[in-house]
């Protein structure tokens, strides 16, 4: 349970909000690179952290991400002409380059000073892992791009999709780390197929690290040993999942009530096999079936995720909803656009949730007091989710650091 004030602080990410300022210190996925397939092609609308933007690829192939509104009289640059290294507003012809400079003002007398004074908000972009990432924080504080493993592997090692969720990003993030729901929400044919362990865990551990935290779920092993599933939280909104192939999510805040859920499967050291790809595209796991040409899933809150009550009653599926990703979505969205955390009753199995909130609120507190946000050293993200067995007497806290750090040279530039 949180106070109303903390719930607001935790969830709101618009310009000028405390959490908005913090999240703006990290690189954020904006869109797929292939949404801008060619130089001077059609611009694409992008919304991030409650800011309406337009992405375009200029004549030289560089990606620009600028305010959607033209600084002249606020017309949408989505309708702009993308030509000769800039996006030109179709209302009166003002033109802007990827750095936000005004490079042409044809409707005005040739007054160099006026042109120099006109700027449009432009965020730097970098293309990694098939995505365009942007940095929306103060320019002088821009960090290097993090060593996030799935963005560094060859393209055929990786499968990435995205879908919109009608709820706040913290709800989706919490859902991703809510380990105790696996046994309930996801009980059904999908989990058996994916080898998710269905017995109730005996212990949960959350160990704060330089990158965020490592979350361990413990089941009893043989001869006093313990079997651990360890997922990774990278601040502010990443998860690394210990499935095979490895999984990952990025829950990107689009606005306070909408999240873009990027879902990834990858192998560090080999291409995804045809069977891996068939499994990914079966929509049983984290990649939902999508409405053609949109970021909306076919199963959604308007059709109650096509819940099949007969299937639910049969006991074959706990929810009657197809696909792990959509089961998560149904529950996270059902809490409302921003969950009211003042009326909850948290128990032992919510340990991870409690610690996740604490980590984010403490990071926010330190940040507001002038401290450096966590996880900005690009090498801090050099970690991988894991499953392992520890002998009797060895604790998760002692072992985890060594077991999640990556030592292979996949990060060589
Ligand atoms: S509104 Fe864009 S040029 Fe006038
Ligand atoms: Fe889930």
- Give the side-chain half-sphere CA count within 13 A for 151: 24
Domain 27-141 part of CATH 3.40.50.1820:
no
Q: SS3 string of the chain?
A: CCCHHHHHHHHCCCCCCHHHHHHCCCEEEEEEHHHCCCCCCCCEEEEECCEEEEEEECCCCCEEEEECECCCCCCEHHHCEECCCCEECCCCCCEECCCCEEEECCCCCCCHHHHHHCECCEECEEEECCEEEEECCCHHHCCCCCCCHHHHCCHHHEEEEEEEECCCHHHHHHHHHCHHHCCCCCCCHHHHHHCCCCCCCCEEEEEEECCEEEEEEEEECHHHCEEEEEEEEECCCEEEECCCCEEEEEEEEEECCEEEEEEEEECCCCCCCHHHHHHHCCCCCCCCCECCCCCCECCCHHHHHHCCHHHHHHCCCCCCCCCHHHHHHHHHHHCCCCCCHHHCCCCHHHHHHHHHHHHHHHHHHHHHCCCCCCCCCHHHHCECCEEEEECCCCCHHHHHHHHHECCCHHHCC
Quote the tokens at residue 25.
């210190």
CB-ligand 1 contact for 94 (6 Å cutoff): yes
CB-ligand 1 contact for 70 (6 Å cutoff): yes
Q: What is the pLDDT of residues 42-85, one digit of tens each?
A: 999 999 999 999 999 999 999 999 999 999 999 999 999 999 99
Per-residue pLDDT band at 173 (split at 50, 70, 90): very high
Look at 83-97, 98-112, 307-321 and tell me which has the smallest mean pLDDT: 98-112
CB-ligand 1 contact for 410 (6 Å cutoff): no
Inter-CA distances, 144 with 34, 189, 350, 379, Å = 23, 42, 34, 10
CB-ligand 1 contact for 92 (6 Å cutoff): yes
- Topology of the domain covering 149-411: Naphthalene 1,2-dioxygenase Alpha Subunit; Chain A, domain 1 (3.90.380)
pLDDT at residue 2 tops 90: yes
CB-ligand 1 contact for 118 (6 Å cutoff): no
Per-residue pLDDT band at 315 (split at 50, 70, 90): confident
Residue of 68, 71, 73 to test ligand 1 pocket, by largest number of atoms within 8 Å of CB: 73
Q: What is the pLDDT of residues 360-383, one digit of tens each?
A: 999 999 999 999 999 999 999 999
Nearest CA to ligand 1 atom 4: 92
Residue of 80, 81, 86, 91 to test ligand 1 pocket, by largest number of atoms within 8 Å of CB: 91
Per-residue pLDDT band at 139 (split at 50, 70, 90): very high
**Mean pLDDT, the chain, whole residue set:** 94
CB-ligand 1 contact for 313 (6 Å cutoff): no
Res 344: pLDDT: 97
The model's pTM: 0.96
Q: Where are the domains of the chain?
A: 27-141, 149-411
Please report which ligand is nearest the Cα atom of 91.
1
CB-ligand 1 contact for 102 (6 Å cutoff): no
pLDDT at residue 412 tops 60: no
Please report which ligand is nearest the Cα atom of 68.
1
Quote the tokens at residue 92.
């009166």
CB-ligand 1 contact for 87 (6 Å cutoff): no
Res 41: pLDDT: 98
Average pLDDT rounded to a whole number, residues 270-285: 96
**Alpha carbons 24 and 75: distance in angstroms, whole number:** 26
CB-ligand 1 contact for 89 (6 Å cutoff): yes
pLDDT at residue 290 tops 90: yes
**Alpha carbons 307 and 293: distance in angstroms, whole number:** 24
Bridge partners for 239 per DSSP: 233, 249
Residue 181 CA to ligand 2 centre (angstroms)? 7
pLDDT at residue 188 tops 90: no
Q: Which atom of ligand 1 is nearest to the CA of 77?
A: 2
Res 411: pLDDT: 61
Residue 58 CA to ligand 1 centre (angstroms)? 19
Inter-CA distances, 106 with 85, 93, 98, 194, Å = 16, 6, 19, 60
Per-residue pLDDT band at 88 (split at 50, 70, 90): very high
Inter-CA distances, 317 with 55, 120, 314, 324, 327, Å = 41, 51, 7, 11, 10
Please report which ligand is nearest the Cα atom of 90.
1
Equal fold, 27-141 vs 149-411: no
pLDDT at residue 259 tops 90: yes
């Amino acid at each position: 349970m949180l106070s109303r004030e903390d719930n607001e602080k935790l969830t709101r990410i618009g310009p000028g909000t405390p959490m908005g300022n913090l999240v703006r210190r990290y690189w954020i996925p904006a869109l797929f690179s292939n949404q801008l397939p060619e130089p001077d092609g059609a611009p694409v609308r992008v919304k991030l952290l409650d800011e309406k933007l337009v992405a375009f690829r200029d004549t030289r192939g560089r990606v620009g991400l600028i305010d959607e509104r033209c600084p002249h009289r606020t017309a949408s640059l989505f309708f702009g002409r993308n030509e000769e290294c800039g996006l030109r507003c179709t209302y009166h012809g003002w033109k802007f380059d990827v750095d936000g400079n005004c490079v042409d003002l044809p409707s005005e007398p040739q007054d160099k000073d006026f042109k120099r004074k006109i700027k449009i908000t432009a965020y730097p972009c970098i293309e990694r892992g098939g995505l365009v990432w942007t940095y929306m924080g103060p320019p002088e504080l821009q960090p290097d791009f993090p060593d996030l493993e799935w963005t560094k592997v060859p393209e055929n090692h990786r499968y990435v999709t995205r879908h919109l969720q009608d709820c706040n990003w913290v709800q989706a993030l919490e859902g991703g780390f809510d380990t105790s729901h696996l046994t309930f929400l996801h009980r059904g044919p999908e989990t058996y197929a994916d080898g998710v362990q269905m017995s109730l865990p005996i212990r949960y551990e959350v160990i704060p690290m330089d990158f965020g935290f490592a979350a361990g779920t413990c089941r009893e092993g043989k001869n006093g040993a313990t079997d651990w599933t360890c997922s990774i939280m990278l601040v502010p909104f990443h998860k690394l999942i210990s499935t095979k192939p490895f999984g990952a999510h990025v829950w990107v805040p689009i606005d306070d009530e909408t999240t873009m859920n990027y879902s990834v499967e990858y192998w560090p050291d080999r291409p995804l096999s045809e069977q891996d790809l068939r499994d990914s595209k079966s929509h049983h796991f984290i990649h939902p079936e999508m409405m053609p040409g949109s970021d909306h899933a076919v199963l959604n809150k308007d059709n109650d995720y096509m819940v099949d009550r007969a299937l639910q009653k049969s006991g074959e599926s706990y929810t009657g909803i197809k696909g792990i990703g959509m089961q998560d979505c149904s529950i996270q969205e059902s809490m409302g656009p921003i969950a009211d955390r003042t009326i909850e009753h948290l128990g032992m199995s919510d340990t991870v949730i409690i610690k996740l909130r604490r980590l984010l609120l403490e990071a926010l507190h330190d940040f507001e007091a002038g401290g450096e946000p966590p996880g900005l050293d690009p090498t801090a993200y050099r970690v991988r989710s894991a499953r392992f067995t520890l002998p009797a007497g060895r604790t998760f806290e002692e072992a985890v650091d060594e077991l999640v750090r990556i030592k292979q040279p996949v990060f060589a530039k």
